Amino acid sequence: MSLPNDSQGNICGYDAANDYTILYYPDVKDPVSFGLVQVKRVCVSKCPLRGDKKVDCYSNGKADCKGLVPVQMDVEF
């Protein structure tokens, strides 16, 4: 079983990322590398919503949370 981890290997919901239990892909256009894992991914405390001004995430070396905003896209199901 594989646990959700950010692009630096921090496991979401454990150790330093204890308060950030959800895995989030901040850039849906980020190229997918081998193994179907996007390069930039972060652990977040809650799923970002369209109207949110920022994303509450655990900063890592690949994705900086300070300038991170929720993905603004329309999704149809």
SS3 24: strand
- What confidence tier does 69 reach under pLDDT thresholds 50, 70, 90? low
Per-residue pLDDT of 5-33, as tens digits, reads: 888 889 999 998 999 999 888 766 665 65
- C-alpha span between 2 and 4 (Å, rounded): 7
**Contact criterion met (CB below 8 Å) for 22 and 46:** yes
**Contact criterion met (CB below 8 Å) for 72 and 24:** no
Per-residue pLDDT of 49-65, as tens digits, reads: 877 778 888 987 766 67
pLDDT at residue 32, as a whole number: 60
Q: Residue 11 has which token pair?
A: 């496991």
Verdict on whether the full-model pTM lies above 0.85: no
